[in-house]
Amino acid sequence: MRPGRRRARAAALAALLAAALAPACTPQASGVLRVLAGSELADMEPLLERAEQETGVRVEMDYTGTLEGVQQVVSGQAARDYDAIWFSSNRYLALHPEGRDALGEQTSVMASPVVLGVARSTAEELGWTGGAEVTWADVAEAAAGGDLSYGMTSPAASNSGFSALVGVAAALSDAGSALRASDVAGAAPELERFFSGQRLTAGSSGWLADAYVRRATGQDPGPELNAMVNYESVLLSVERREELPEPLAVVHPADGAVTADYPLTLLEPAGAQAAERYGALVDHLMGEEVQEEIGRTTHRRPMAPGAADPGPPSLPELPFPATAEVADGLIGAYFDEYRRPARTVFVLDSSGSMAGERMAALRTAVDTLTGGDGGSLDGRFQRFYHRERVTLLPFASGVHRARTFEVDSGDPGEALDGIRAGVRALEPGGWTAGYAALAEAYGLLAEEETGGRFTSIVLLTDGEVNRGPGLAEFRDGVHAGLGGELRGVPVFPVLLGESDPAEMEELAELTGGRVFDARSTSLDEAFREIRGYQ
């Protein structure tokens, strides 16, 4: 045998030996799959770690809110940054032509209807236990009669809130097919009755669940709740929390619900490698064993044939809006007409450290809230709402004069122009008397009747409070002396620059609020996210 042929045979044998000795578990589809996902899917991460071990596909999840995610897909940004999306539903996205065109292969991985959880004693008083048939109209009647005080997420920030809004509108209008504008208009009086019982709004279903538990256990000073509209899976997880004084009764309205089906969706421009990784991940997630594990760990209903579903029988699926215009009109009417109006006090740092880019960022953020970003889906709804009362309360070394505006439903322009002008007129200078300004904000609210509103305070400061009282003095001398209703007004601190994260977290916990971080994102994004909680 010639030397060249011997070398070739040796090389071939070496290659075969290397292949035989290589780990058998290394799959062809190994690699990274970049996924833009709804925030509630964070609970899937342990299962995705297992998927990586068994398939070699590592899923990198970036989380976002519902409308913000839809906006990224419609604008084309998602296709540039991600291989796939994983929202609780694609139905709103598919109402937009650009959204439909961006969607490739999709697989519904699990399901969870948006239903009602009611404190057991309240459910018994209303006769809603023991297999009783309850409708959304019954829920509206209980809310209007003052028997039901519930929390629900914002339809502009969270799919659970949007699904609840659509489902209730469809049920109360008795729409037999796709929901039309005339159906929504006809149901307006009943929708107002239903939303009269809403006492808490939130930007995410998880935060809402935690807030419900904090209120039930007395940790949160906000108004008492005896019910929550949320995903069935979230309600079942709350029901199992030991600190809850009494269990939740999960009410499945007989007329149906809107169900999240969690479609893992390949984006149309994704390449062959991404498609291969997507296929391997889907095959793994849809396996019977993994599907049953999804049911056990997340309380969502499995979708694969043969996987055991411990939940009650599936509910009738309520009709969805026929067009994007109907869906958007319903969201707008919820904020501007159906639900309680908002009351917001913006306590704004105008000390010397806010000069330059930080003050420019504040002006941009307020421009967005006054309608400066009305062309985007999230900007259209994360704005000041009709009937909302807004106060600008600037501070530096001392507290400056407050200016209050009411956004009139018939002519909102005058108030919105005034808010923009008020922020543009701020001239940075001086030190930082943040807690003195916060005390003034509560004092302003004490002079009003705010019981019929979603009332909150936004505190923006870019540095350490170095004038006037500190947190301990505010906590013990101001907040401790507030009446019950005022004690329930949350403060939403916004971190910017050198503000103290630990101190702001303590302030948020004291008042039942939440901290928003504008240091790693933009102030504009932080202010828009806050709107889901107001």
Are 383 and 529 members of one domain?
yes
First to last CA, the chain: 84
| Residue burial 19-58, b: 16+ Cβ < 10 Å; e: rest | eeeeeeeeeebbeebbbbbbbbbebbeebbeebbeebbbb
Domain boundary among 299, 327, 356: 299
Six-digit token string for 429: 């200078």
Residue 130 gets the label, from left (phi > 0), alpha (psi -120 to 50) or beta, of: left
Six-digit token string for 453: 């509103």
Distance CA 384, CA 66 (A): 19
- Position 65 confidence tier, pLDDT thresholds 50, 70, 90: confident
Alpha-carbon distances of 31 from 28, 227, 436, 511, rounded to whole Å: 9, 44, 54, 45
Q: What percent of the chain has pLDDT over 90?
A: 84
Are 222 and 250 members of one domain?
yes
Six-digit token string for 398: 């001392």
Domain boundary among 206, 228, 259: 259
Number of domains in the chain: 3
* Ranges of H-type helices in 240-318: 272-285, 288-298
Pairing type for strands 516-517 and 491-495 reads parallel
Domain annotation covers residue 326:
no
Angle of helix 136-144 relative to helix 188-195, nearest 10 degrees, comes to 60
Which one has a higher pLDDT value, 343 or 15? 343
pLDDT at 67: 78
Are 499 and 423 members of one domain?
yes
pLDDT tens across 66-122, in order?
778 999 999 999 999 999 999 999 999 999 999 999 999 999 999 999 999 999 999
pLDDT at 368: 92
- Position 381 confidence tier, pLDDT thresholds 50, 70, 90: confident
Are 183 and 163 members of one domain?
yes
Q: Which of 211-220, 246-255, 312-321, 521-530 has the lowest mean pLDDT?
A: 312-321
Distance CA 372, CA 275 (A): 39
Are 67 and 150 members of one domain?
no
Q: Global pTM?
A: 0.91
Q: Which of 373-377, 379-383, 497-501 has the lowest mean pLDDT?
A: 373-377
pLDDT tens across 246-270, in order?
999 999 999 999 999 999 999 998 9
Helices (H) and strands (E) in the chain, counts: 24, 18
**Domain of 181, in residue numbers:** 113-259
Which residue in 70, 12, 76, 9 sits closest to 37, CA to CA? 70
Which residue in 198, 202, 218, 209 sits closest to 240, CA to CA? 209
Pairing type for strands 491-495 and 110-119 reads unpaired
Distance CA 256, CA 169 (A): 12
Domain annotation covers residue 421:
yes
pLDDT at 273: 96
Residue range 230-255: average pLDDT? 94
Which residue in 438, 421, 444, 425 sits closest to 350, CA to CA? 425
Residue range 277-299: average pLDDT? 96
Distance CA 354, CA 359 (A): 5
Domain boundary among 227, 259, 291: 259
Distance CA 282, CA 299 (A): 19
**How many CB atoms lie under 10 A from the CB of residue 268?**
12
Q: What's the 3-state SS for 212-251?
A: HHHHHCCCCCCCCCCEEEEEHHHHHHHHCCCCCCCCEEEE
Domain annotation covers residue 103:
yes
C-beta of residue 273 within 8 angstroms of C-beta of residue 57: no
Are 132 and 99 members of one domain?
no
Are 388 and 516 members of one domain?
yes
Residue range 320-337: average pLDDT? 95
Are 358 and 374 members of one domain?
yes
Residue range 413-438: average pLDDT? 97
CATH for 453: 3.40.50.410
Whether 442 shows a pLDDT value over 90: the answer reads: yes
CATH for 267: 3.40.190.10
Are 128 and 93 members of one domain?
no
Six-digit token string for 121: 């004693």
Residue range 213-229: average pLDDT? 93
pLDDT tens across 165-213, in order?
999 999 999 888 899 999 999 999 999 999 999 999 999 999 999 999 9
Whether 2 shows a pLDDT value over 70: the answer reads: no
Residue range 273-296: average pLDDT? 96
- The residue type of 271 is G
pLDDT at 310: 63
pLDDT at 374: 55
> How much of the chain is in helix, strand and coil states, percent to nearest 5?
45, 20, 35
Whether 21 shows a pLDDT value over 80: the answer reads: no
Are 417 and 503 members of one domain?
yes
Domain annotation covers residue 436:
yes
Are 134 and 102 members of one domain?
no
- Position 28 confidence tier, pLDDT thresholds 50, 70, 90: low
pLDDT at 23: 41
Are 361 and 288 members of one domain?
no
Domain annotation covers residue 305:
no
pLDDT tens across 135-165, in order?
999 999 999 999 999 999 999 999 999 999 9
